[in-house]
Amino acid sequence: MEAILARRFGSEGEALAFVADTEFQAPGDDCLPNMAAAVARIAAAIANQERIVVFGDYDVDGVAATALCVLAIQAASGGTANLGTRLPSRVDGYGLRPEVVREIAASGATLLITVDCGSSDHENIDLARELGMDVVVFDHHQLAGPPVDAIVVSTQLGGKAACRDLSAAGVLYLFAVALARAGFDLGNGPGGEPGRLLDLASLGLIADVVPLTGLARSMVRAGLRQLRAGRRPGLSALAGRAGVTLDGVSSEDVAFKLAPRLNAAGRMDNPRLALGLLLTDEPATAERRVSQLEQLNRQRRSETDLVFAEARAQVGEIADLDRRRVVLVHAPNWHAGVLGVVAAKLSDAYGRPAVVLSDADGVSRGSARSVPGFDIGRAIAASSALLLGHGGHCQAAGLTMETALVRDLIAALESAAARVDLPLNQPAELHIEADLPIERLVRATAELLSVLEPFGAANPKPLLRIRGARLNSYRTLGQDGRHLKLFVSTPGGEAAVLAWNASGRSRELAGRRRLDLVVTLGVD
């Protein structure tokens, strides 16, 4: 443990502060610019019974942030707010569209709140203003310049450094806190911090892969405690279906078991299914929605495998692949809901940024994922003249463009990667933090390392090397047999080692009795 702490922190004091289990307290309302103005406008809309419409996004962060916004406003109004919600589908693409803005205005709305989007929607926000609506934007995506005729609360506009790595759900939790501090009762008395909403904030922060350090780490740690309390029927039902014991739920459970199921709604069908799950108070309704999500998640996996296979085949046909710093593939009729997942898998497979687009009627829509050292969100924003729409951050982005301009985008991204001298085909690296003697492969070691939780971006689970482990047996695992489960000897008995997506390497184990392993520890 000492070796790991020494590698991660510059001083003993810094390490002690990181692992200290202190009670979470939200920062002051000045942590994000324009928060006071946003609270004042929304408070006025509540008082005047104005029609308010919240427009969110289709991923977990966007849905969780939308739920946070709705619950905060409902609580502040005593349940009397004239409140509506809209979420886009993957087919619609990211952000506002003119026809949606007109529909919202036609519903009588005088206040439009955009959540996890809006920073780049200058034209649509101008349209909303022309149609008589005020606009409040809560966002965290990169922006060239904020819309001038809206109240914009964004991590990209400065404010205190502690708040700059938050996702939309983190931003909306701070809005809920600011609303409470303005004198509203959000469930803990007037002025009381609405801590029960932290479970939703933690969902978005983990799913959006923000660095789990500083404020985000504290918020997630407190949010996991709320999640373990099991107060939200939708999340309790979701955990049960995913095989997660809620009273011991971890950030990894959220990232790999809960978030993908919530995401399946927006990827394969309608994100309102996930939003409804987070908002329902009825256990029976929650169970029905979870059953639908489970079916959609199975479809997502199948569609992902299909599109990934076709995308890899297309990459293999790129004549100058060995000189490409960025891979871009596109084809008609690829399911819009899995393009981000496929882009991430391609980026991992080829060690470089990847863009995956689906073509229809002369327009290509899709997602990009990057590698360390290349800000894909900024590179795509710099190519905005080629695009119909875009949004994102340093490691992930979404975009819409005319299919005829795809070759131009490839050239633009290649130039951007060359300017920062992005290495070709970055190999995967294992950052081993310590050697683990086989006799220390025990539950107590895993429990000792748990003080570093929650694990995630910028705070990964420690990678430990075990030399010369004795292999007893192994077998494939999973419905499609794509994983491996190895059994190794320890002085205290036999330990299981899970190797995800590694069944293709099983031939390497034939005749082997000793292995060097690089592992993370967990308790089954």
| CATH at residue 507 | 2.40.50
Same domain, 400 and 445: no
The CATH number assigned to the domain holding 91 equals 3.90.1640.30
Length of the chain: 524
Centroid of chain to Cα 372: 17
Domain boundary among 182, 197, 212: 197
Domain membership of residue 309 (yes or no) is: no
Domain membership of residue 473 (yes or no) is: yes
Question: Are residues 365 and 378 in contact, defined by beta-carbon separation less than 8 angstroms?
Answer: no
| Contacts of 28 by beta carbon, 8 Å cutoff, 6+ apart | none
Domain boundary among 142, 168, 197: 197
Domain membership of residue 207 (yes or no) is: no
* Ramachandran class of 388: left when φ > 0, alpha when ψ lies in -120 to 50, beta otherwise: alpha
Q: Which amino acid would we find at residue 349?
A: A
Same domain, 181 and 322: no
Same domain, 332 and 186: no
Go through 74-105 and write b for each residue having 16 or more CB atoms within 10 A of its CB, e for each that does not. bbbbeeebbbebbbbbbebbbbbbeebbeebb
Q: Closest by alpha carbon to 136, among 112, 102, 105?
A: 112
Domain membership of residue 276 (yes or no) is: no
Tokens of 193: 């911090």
Question: Rg for the chain (alpha carbons), in Å?
Answer: 24
Q: Which domain holds residue 40?
A: 27-197
Is the overall model pTM greater than 0.75, yes or no? yes
Centroid of chain to Cα 103: 29
Question: Are residues 328 and 300 in contact, defined by beta-carbon separation less than 8 angstroms?
Answer: no
Digitized pLDDT (tens) for each residue of the chain, 524 residues in all: 878 988 898 888 888 888 887 889 899 988 999 999 999 999 999 999 999 999 999 999 999 999 999 999 999 999 999 999 999 988 787 889 999 999 999 999 999 999 999 988 899 999 999 999 999 999 998 887 888 899 999 999 988 888 999 999 999 999 999 999 999 999 999 999 999 999 999 999 999 999 999 999 999 999 999 999 999 999 999 999 999 999 999 999 999 999 999 999 999 999 999 999 999 999 999 999 999 999 999 999 999 999 999 999 999 999 999 999 999 999 998 999 999 999 999 999 999 999 999 999 999 999 999 998 999 999 999 999 999 988 888 889 999 999 999 999 999 999 999 999 998 877 778 899 999 999 999 999 999 999 999 999 999 999 999 999 999 999 999 878 889 999 999 999 999 999 998 998 988 898 889 999 999 998 87
Strand partners, 486: 474, 497
Domain boundary among 388, 419, 450: 419
Total of domains in the chain:
3
| Contacts of 23 by beta carbon, 8 Å cutoff, 6+ apart | 222
> Which residue in this structure is represented by tokens 């011991």?
248
